Structure 1
Amino acid sequence: MITWLIALVCSTAVGARIGRLTVRPPSLARVSIAVAAISVTAAATIRTRTVTEVLDASGPGTAATGFEICWIVFGAATALIAAASVPRLSRGPQWPLPVAFAATAVAVIANELRGPDHHRLTDVFLTVTATFAVVAGLRYARWNPLGRAIGLFCAGSLVVAGIGLHSLAVRPAEHAMPEGLWWAVAVIAISAGCSSVMVEAWLRARVDLRRTRRLWTALTTAHPELLDTDYRSATATLTASDRIAQILDGLYLHAGAGLFAPEPTPPPAGLPEHAAAIARWLHQGDAEPIDPAWLAAPDSVSDRRWIGAVCAAYNSPGQSGT
């Protein structure tokens, strides 16, 4: 049951990567990540007892060999991702890199298929490619959605490199054991790295939609022209982005669209105080005109963060009664 759940997580990562390719221009790195996710999903599927039994019924060691082939494809794709991130390698023509890595992977796979025994070349290939990916990727690990995804992917690749080294040192002639715990760790970490950016974006969008609902409803009720009845965002992320833009436009309309601008005055210095002032103005039914400059996001503050602060202040119980 657990192996099937792991395979399900991997399938989610594949769906996320393919979805990414449909909305963004395909690039060498994006296609390689999708290939890596697909190969890991195939490996996770082979790990399940049902699939292993079906494959081994055609010959002993078939499942283990198929499992290793999946990881060889992953190693080539991962090395290609790492190579695309190295400035010196990415400046020239792009086609030699995939050709070289694909040819190497085919050679390693052919060597693995020569006989029933496991070959050291496979472990060497996995160790080298995974280590290369870790070394190249850790430079981009940061505490942000993309940096966390890279960190997870590198963590999984590091586990793969460790498994390859262990196999070379301890059991060089034996096939991989798909049911091993460390393979499960690698599969989960890599799948999480492939999909975490999209998952975080979706979760962040859901939070934004819930946080902005009250103010957005009030502004669109007062100014129906903010809504485009012929257009509807297809995803939560786009809906949240559209809602932030509509709130910004609604604030400007609510202030008279610049027709009743008072004397310019500096807004409160702090972001919470500034947002609280806007919230108080919104809650006043007969509010005095406000300087439109107050409604724009302060310098160095994103529109999302600014509208989030205004909505938080607007939703505050202390503001609703004023």
Structure 2
Amino acid sequence: MIFWLTALAVWIAAGARVGRVLVRPATTVRVAIVVAVACVAAASTVAIPDVAVSIDRLAPGGVRDGERLSVLLVISMWVGFTTATTVVAAATWPITSRKNLRHSAMIIYALGTAVVLAVLMWSARFGWGAVTFGSVVIAITGLRALDWTPLGRGIAIFVAGTALVAALSAWQLRHEILDDSVTARTQEFAWAWSIASLLISIGAIFILVEIWIRARVLLRRVRVLHRVLTERFPEVTQDDAEHTTTVLRASDQVAQIMDALFLQAGSGAFVDGGSTPIEGPERARSVARWVIDPLQSDPLDTRWISPPGGVSTRRWVGDIAVAYAKESGS
């Protein structure tokens, strides 16, 4: 059951990446990510014992010298993953420009196809060797892109999975070199391969999931503030706002709140040299009190509305929304 659930989880990740390509331009990198995750999903599926037995029945005597067809297909899928991920890694190399990335991708895919043919026609060692070398290159390239951002965290998880693939494939290569009698008949450490597959799939969609979660949290946080300001200034809203994605709706509501705040501040027409905006949480509380009762509170100009230095618009609107909820008791 664990193997089935692992394959299902990886296929869900592959579907998410396909959806990303459908709603965004199908760039070389995005397509390569889809291919990589799909190959991992296919490898996880073929590695399921029941599925492997069914596939092996297509070649009861083995492909050559008793080598199981299912194992050769699994190796081929991991070669496909390594090939596609190498294309993604190549996009970050200094010697690769956006113009020649497509040509580089074609060369990499051609090499990967040649390795797959070598696996199916000659020896599985070609596949494990290519997976080991490619995974090491991918992991080293990924380490250069680590950062404490949604993308950086996703890359870190992806690199961890790829590094595990490198270690496992190196073990498989060593095993087959030292013992010719069991060449390509078994795939050891199936549980470790499942972990690697899950890490890769999670890393591939981590940024999508985190951005979606952040959008949901932001929508919940600004719900009351957005309702109050859009009722006060309905001209800032859009008619089809409910038919957009969660991420876009969050961005739209942030923009609408800022537009409404600027309208309430007179759109910059009433800057009279008043008090200088303060910094820190007190500034958000001042704006919140001004939104609650613009007539009785101290008038604020657009300098107070603009996000403080080093603070993104999303975070600033979220801070105002939190302060508004505390000040109004909502």
> TM-score normalised to the size of structure 1?
0.91
1:274 and 2:279 are equivalent in the alignment: no
Q: CA RMSD in A?
A: 2.1
Residue identity matched to 1:214: V
Q: Which structure 2 residues correspond to residues 126-275 of structure 1 after superposition, within 5 A?
A: 126-172=131-177, 173=180, 174-175=183-184, 176-177=186-187, 180-270=190-280, 272-275=281-284
Superposition deviation, residue 239 in structure 1? 0.3
Q: Secondary structure, in 3 states, of the residue corresponding to 2:144?
A: helix
| Percent identity of equivalent pairs | 37
The residue number in structure 1 matching 2:65 is: none
Residue identity matched to 2:292: H
Question: In 1, Cα distance between the equivalents of 2:288 and 2:303?
Answer: 15
Q: Secondary structure, in 3 states, of the residue corresponding to 2:95?
A: helix
Question: In 2, Cα distance between the equivalents of 1:243 and 1:168?
Answer: 54
Of 82, 87, 95, the match for 1:80 = 87
8 Å Cα contact 2:154/2:202 also seen in 1 = yes
Q: Secondary structure, in 3 states, of the residue corresponding to 2:9?
A: helix
Question: In 2, Cα distance between the equivalents of 1:245 and 1:165?
Answer: 51
User: Against the structure 1 CA distance between its residues 212 and 119, is the aligned structure 2 distance closer, same or farther, given a 3 Å change threshold?
Assistant: same
Of 312, 320, 323, the match for 1:310 = 320
User: Against the structure 1 CA distance between its residues 257 and 105, is the aligned structure 2 distance closer, same or farther, given a 3 Å change threshold?
Assistant: closer
Superposition deviation, residue 260 in structure 1? 4.7
Residues 243-299 of structure 1: per-residue CA shift (max 9 Å, x gap): 0000001112223444555543211122x1110111122222633432221011112
8 Å Cα contact 1:10/1:40 also seen in 2 = yes
Between 1:226-235 and 1:101-110, the stretch displaced more is 226-235
Question: In 1, Cα distance between the equivalents of 2:32 and 2:109?
Answer: 11
User: Against the structure 1 CA distance between its residues 10 and 321, is the aligned structure 2 distance closer, same or farther, given a 3 Å change threshold?
Assistant: closer
Name structure 1 gaps, 5 residues minimum.
none
The residue number in structure 1 matching 2:74 is: 67
* Number of residue pairs the alignment of both structures matches: 317
The residue number in structure 2 matching 1:25 is: 25
Q: Which structure 2 residues correspond to residues 32-43 of structure 1 after superposition, within 5 A?
A: 32-43=32-43
Superposition deviation, residue 220 in structure 1? 1.1
Residue identity matched to 2:105: P
8 Å Cα contact 1:55/1:62 also seen in 2 = yes
Q: Secondary structure, in 3 states, of the residue corresponding to 2:308?
A: coil
Superposition deviation, residue 143 in structure 1? 1.3
1:122 and 2:115 are equivalent in the alignment: no
The residue number in structure 2 matching 1:283 is: 292
User: Against the structure 1 CA distance between its residues 264 and 22, is the aligned structure 2 distance closer, same or farther, given a 3 Å change threshold?
Assistant: farther
Question: In 2, Cα distance between the equivalents of 1:78 and 1:216?
Answer: 42
The residue number in structure 1 matching 2:51 is: 51
Question: In 2, Cα distance between the equivalents of 1:159 and 1:10?
Answer: 16
8 Å Cα contact 1:123/1:165 also seen in 2 = yes
Superposition deviation, residue 91 in structure 1? 6.4
Question: In 1, Cα distance between the equivalents of 2:113 and 2:273?
Answer: 72
Between 1:142-151 and 1:48-57, the stretch displaced more is 48-57
8 Å Cα contact 2:89/2:138 also seen in 1 = yes
User: Against the structure 1 CA distance between its residues 266 and 168, is the aligned structure 2 distance closer, same or farther, given a 3 Å change threshold?
Assistant: same
8 Å Cα contact 2:36/2:84 also seen in 1 = yes
Superposition deviation, residue 303 in structure 1? 0.4
Superposition deviation, residue 65 in structure 1? 1.5
8 Å Cα contact 2:172/2:187 also seen in 1 = no
User: Against the structure 1 CA distance between its residues 198 and 230, is the aligned structure 2 distance closer, same or farther, given a 3 Å change threshold?
Assistant: closer
8 Å Cα contact 1:64/1:178 also seen in 2 = no
Name structure 2 gaps, 5 residues minimum.
63-67
Residues 216-237 of structure 1: per-residue CA shift (max 9 Å, x gap): 0111112222222245452100
Residue identity matched to 1:226: V
Question: In 1, Cα distance between the equivalents of 2:174 and 2:163?
Answer: 17
8 Å Cα contact 2:261/2:305 also seen in 1 = yes
> TM-score normalised to the size of structure 2?
0.89
